[in-house]
Amino acid sequence: MFVISLIGFSIQDNLGDPLRELLGQSVSEEVRNEMREEMGLNDPFVVQYIRFLGDAVQGDLGDSYFFKRPALGVIMDKFSATFELVLGAVFIFLSLSIPAGIYCAIHRDSLVTRIIMSASIIGISVPVFLTAIGMVWLFGVELGWLPAFGRGETVEMPWGWDTGLLTWDGISHLILPSITLSSIMLPLFIRLIRAEMMETMSTDYVRFAKAKGLSTARVRYVHAFRNTLLPVVTVGGLMIGTLIAYTILTETVFQWPGMGFLFLEAVNRVDTPLIIAYIIVVGLIFVVVNTLVDFLYTLINPMVKLPGGKS
């Protein structure tokens, strides 16, 4: 987290002069300098950074230049939208990739397998913005089945959380963006699960399980699939980063009012506190998710024990 904050903070000097955006063209040079001094922008980098760190540990990542509000608050307002988008995408790719991967591993030469495998190659190769635009065009414009713009109707929840999952309108708005977002992970995971499953199916312990006279279902799902999950979970944890990166793209195309969309706007406005806050929040999410994944890993793999756990 410390490293992330350092990197995040150090890029701010290279992003352009925030005052130009803040004050416009018509303000005189003296006023600008005065303002710079007042905001501490003329201090050496280290001083600025330490001041930033001191505030950051108290939960203050600075005020957004554009919104004139704390940057963290601005981001957290958008967090629920991004969270639901990622949730939708994860739900879609988990519920499709696991059955498809297992099916393709077991029926390795069937016609369906060949179709899925070919489609997944195409899926991997097509860039996300193309998928997104294709989706908007086909389902949003041509067929008009699903909305392709914004988040739809949302419901206020406690702690300022607003959700689109409770209304049909909100869910229908979620479908296209989350399919688009999941399209990055889906083909990759189908191929990964298939490859791992095929490998475990040919191991000695799976053969031994068969030789013990166990049912096919037990051999496949208890003996083979649990071992398949190990590398899949590891890769899954690493892919979370990719997924967050692609939310920026997806949210932009679908005008989804989430953190990624906000980030892109912030970049355009040279709203440095907001940019840094975004980087730090995403870094935090990444760290938390990977810790969770490690924890999950110990649950499936008895060979890995967290220090301090029972041995």
Which residues would be at the binding site for other proteins (CB under 8 A)? 202-216, 218, 222-223, 226-227, 230, 300-303
Least Cβ distance, residue 214 to other proteins (angstroms): 5
Report the alpha-carbon angle 173-101-180, nearest 5. 20
Least Cβ distance, residue 103 to other proteins (angstroms): 16
Least Cβ distance, residue 192 to other proteins (angstroms): 18
Least Cβ distance, residue 236 to other proteins (angstroms): 17
**Which residue, 200 or 247, is less far from other proteins as judged by CB?**
200
Q: How many CB atoms lie within 10 A of CB 24?
A: 8
**Which residue, 139 or 297, is less far from other proteins as judged by CB?**
297
User: 190 — phi, psi (to 5°)?
Assistant: -60, -45
Cβ(249)–Cβ(126) below 8 Å = no
Cβ(219)–Cβ(210) below 8 Å = yes
**Which residue, 31 or 300, is less far from other proteins as judged by CB?**
300
**Which residue, 233 or 235, is less far from other proteins as judged by CB?**
233
**Which residue, 163 or 301, is less far from other proteins as judged by CB?**
301
The angle that helices 128-135 and 225-253 make with each other, rounded to 10 degrees, is 70
Least Cβ distance, residue 294 to other proteins (angstroms): 16
Burial classification of residue 158, based on how many CB atoms lie within 10 Å of its CB (0-12 exposed, 13-18 middle, 19 or more buried): exposed
